[in-house]
Structure 1
């Protein structure tokens, strides 16, 4: 009788352990920022709810862009291309089309980042089995430890030099961060000591490269105080240990 009782307890323990293992993938669900949306570009957005639908939905005419091939030989009226959805935006970028209306380059580049983010979310992101960043909060302390690749560097030669310097690890090592403003739980803005300003937002958390480890997607907008310069980037970062350095998995567009 005693042996049967012990056997039942052991069987129950194994059942509970197996049950816990079967839920392992549900431990770290995907997070998607509600701000990741292009519904405001649509004439009628009532029926366009999911990001999949938003990716292919046609924008209103006043929200569209006209682009053309960047080769002078192929720049003719017949080769002009209308970018009026996220889907067409990524096609234009893939085929190296340039924006015709240069003053609209800021909004155009910003939309590319949003569309690329939606594309990655609907095609790449999965639940994670392991995470060292699930409780990560973007605030005035944590932002200073983001990787140096995110720092605003307008000179390509200086960028290469700084990336090659192994002593520099973080964004704050490159540009000293000042005047930090917490805009919401997922967005922070700050100035740098090189008269520039950056805004960083968490757009999503999940497994983007399918190694079972949770990654984080950040959008970064850059500007120069008192100038016209703007740039926009998207980063996929991860950590392989809780107190380890950030690892840059992907960057859009590539530097």
Structure 2
């Protein structure tokens, strides 16, 4: 029918799109999914056109074979458990323990592996001991150098710093610095009293209201003293 034909065409378009998508993704596998943040690998849910079979249920066009879940194979097969025990415990004295199920070849192989492990452990222990000694020597040398530097820094300070004059010299220096700063900030000086001002209007104001006023007061007092004897003489006449 017409509906079945449209459905078959839609399935073909979907298959071609999925094949292109899978081919593009297979080039960059495993890729990091931007939505989930999970590394995606290839899966076995995709079916090919050759896997299609006739529909079994009413209204079913195709059927696909069911696939079981596949477990990934390990790249490195697990070794013999007895050899693992030997790697964990290399100190075990194998010639003293004779089990019925072990053969001569396995014991020799185990002995060889045990000797190699013991040699490795001995070399590792020697390396670690040498490393610890080297670190300790470096720490001691660094401590000695730091102590020498501290002594060199302390000795000149004690030699060059007098005890009694330290505070007085510092105070005098501060006063001199303050005086020089004041001279720089206030260059206009009063000739009469020595008071300093930042600008000329301030100095003129000081002259007008301080020294001129005092001079006028002195002149008025002198006039009063001169006029008072004249009035007394007139009164006597």
Structure in which a larger fraction of residues adopt strand: 1
Give the greater-gyration-radius structure (CA).
2
Q: Under a length normalisation based on structure 1, what TM-score does the superposition of the two structures give? A: 0.17
Q: Larger RCO: Structure 1 or Structure 2 (Cα < 8 Å, ≥ 6 residues apart)?
A: 1
